[in-house]
Structures are given as C-alpha cells and as structure tokens.
Amino acid sequence: MDETDVRAVLRTVEDPDLGEDIVSLGLVNDVTVEDETARISLALGAPYAPHESEIANRVREALNDEGIDTELSARVDTQLSPEEQVLPGVKNIIAVASGKGGVGKSTVAVNLAAGLAKLGARVGLFDADVYGPNVPRMVDANERPRATEEQKLVPPEKFGVKLMSMAFLTGKDDPVIWRGPMVHKVLTQLWEDVEWGQLDYMVVDLPPGTGDTQLTLLQSVPVTGAVIVTTPQQVALDDANKGLQMFGKHDTPVLGIAENMSTFKCPDCGGEHDIFGHGGGAEFAEDHEMPFLGSIPLDPSVRSGGDEGEPIVLDDESDTGESFRTLTENVANNVGIINRRRQQQE
C-alpha cells in the first residue's frame, strides 16, 4: 500500500462535526508509508477534544482494517510569522467572559481549566481581572511566581494548571487603582514576560463587562474563541448580549454560551427550584445561533469548592462536577471545529 492507497482509505473517515471526509476538508497534512507503517500528520488543533480523539481513532481503525500500522501526529499552521506570535508555545487561547458580574464567570474559568487538565491537556490559566483577581484563592495557590535570570516569571502550578494572576504580584488587601493605559501595559507584560512553555490551552478569566482589559486581550493576542457565561434571568442575558456583540466586532469566534446557576436542588427536600429562572441561556444561544455549552446547577458545593480551592470538576462523584466536565468537553470540541474550519478555508 502506497501513499495514494492510504489517502483513499482516509477518504472513508468522516469528520463528525463538519460532515465531510478528512481528505476533502484538507485535514491531512502529510502521508508517508514505509515498511507497512503509515505516518500521518493531521490538521487537528484541539488536543484531548473528544471529537478530535474520535477522528484519530477512526483513522487508526480504518488503516488497521487494511493491515497497516499507523503513527499519527497533529499540526495546525497558524499562518503567523515568528515575530507575530505573542505566545508561540500556546496552541489555543480561550477567553471566558460575561456581560456583568456575579454570574460565576471565574468559577466557570477555573473549572474549565482544571477540566481540560483532567482530560490530559497542558493548560494555563491567566486571571486577567486586574481589579478583582480571585483565581489563586479558588485553587488554593499560595506560591508566588519565581523569576529566571532573564527576568521571566515562572508561573506556579496547581491541579496541572499553570497560573498567573495580579493577586500574586500585589499585597493581599491592596487595591489596584490604575487607569486604562497602565492596565494595558501590565497585561501585555504578563503575557510576554511569563514562561508559559508549551500549552494546549490557555484559559483567560476576563473581568466582567466590555472595558480596557477585554480590548487589550483582543488587540494583543490571537484569541481562538470566547465562552460567554450568563445566568438564566433576563437582566444577565441583556448584558451577555453586549459581550457577544463585542467579540463579534473584533471577529472573535464565540465557542458557546454557558448557563450558570441554572437550578437549585434542595439537599433537604430534594425539590428543584429555579431561583434565577431556567433555560434562558439555552434560548439565548438558540436565538443568536450560538452553541449552547451546558447548564450548571446552583450547588452549594461549588461555592465551598471555590472557597476551599478544590474545583468541583475534579470530583468524579458529583453531578455538578459532571455538568462542568460536559461543558469542558463541549468547549474543547468547539475549539476543534473552529480550527478545522479555518484549515478548510486555507
């Protein structure tokens, strides 16, 4: 079997999201065949995303059925020169945003990052909320960054996630009172002067709203996509729409809508109560033709996990943890879809 034969077999492997075979979609970078072994490079850029893992498994199965051993690798060309790559070791940057405060955006960001690491990915979590950084508390990270001889910061690590936050660089109770230009300067330094290493995903926890920090991010680094967090009630959805419009104006894909605090299940009576309403996030996603990433219930264990530094996504016995794991997989799958569509257009 030669390269032509292998590519013919690969035409039988269909992308589960885009609905065509991987050769027609341009997802096969290279094929070499030697000693009954096919070495194949695939344009898959969302490591550990369930659907991309499924594609890889289908490739192996199709070639194994033909008696061919398979060695797979993955590479997505960024089309950026080395000078344009602000974070050259980071494959995907995921912004977690909300139109207003109090919807649990940081909780979603922390559990998303920990969930991606739980899948096996190399993950960074950047707390970009300059005025109210709280990620270190939510993962019980007390270690401050070390500095290298080149004056680069080495981020501490927790739950397999590399962390950076303004909370590491200021006093515990010191307020940050800065104007916009100072925010831009500090955030840019934190992106460029940190030894992030090789990451599959960087999750950026943005402050609420549509201000200086959001603009700095969108103008400085290539954001793969954004997750918009909302609660079900209309006042939160109105503000979520502002965030959606902001990303649209900067041509940043939205990975989907996450509905937090969806339903409260009473631990005493067992009844369910829609304290903030129910289903608003799903309806919002449908109305704006956006993916719906899932609903997260209003669960006291999420609050206690955040205060004690134990992301609930890591609790295999928790139904709420399972909701976060579903959300994590949906986000990773949608990152893959965006990357594969981009590859298809090139």
Residues 81-105 have pLDDT tens digits of 555 577 888 999 999 988 777 788 9
Q: Which CATH superfamily is domain 3-74 in?
A: Fe-S cluster assembly (FSCA) (3.30.300.130)
pLDDT at residue 345 is higher than 60: yes
Confidence of residue 58 (pLDDT cuts 50, 70, 90): very high
21, pLDDT greater than 70: yes
Every domain of the chain and the residues it spans: 3-74, 82-345
Write the burial class of residue 18 (CB in 10 Å: 0-12 exposed, 13-18 middle, 19+ buried): middle
Annotated binding site: 99-106
Query: Residue 181's pLDDT band (boundaries 50, 70, 90)?
Result: confident
pLDDT digits 0-9 by tens, 98-137: 877 778 899 999 999 999 999 999 999 998 877 667 888 8
User: Residues marked as binding for ATP?
Assistant: 99-106
CATH code of the domain made up of 82-345: 3.40.50.300
Residue 238 above 70 pLDDT? yes
Residues 31-48 have a mean pLDDT of: 93
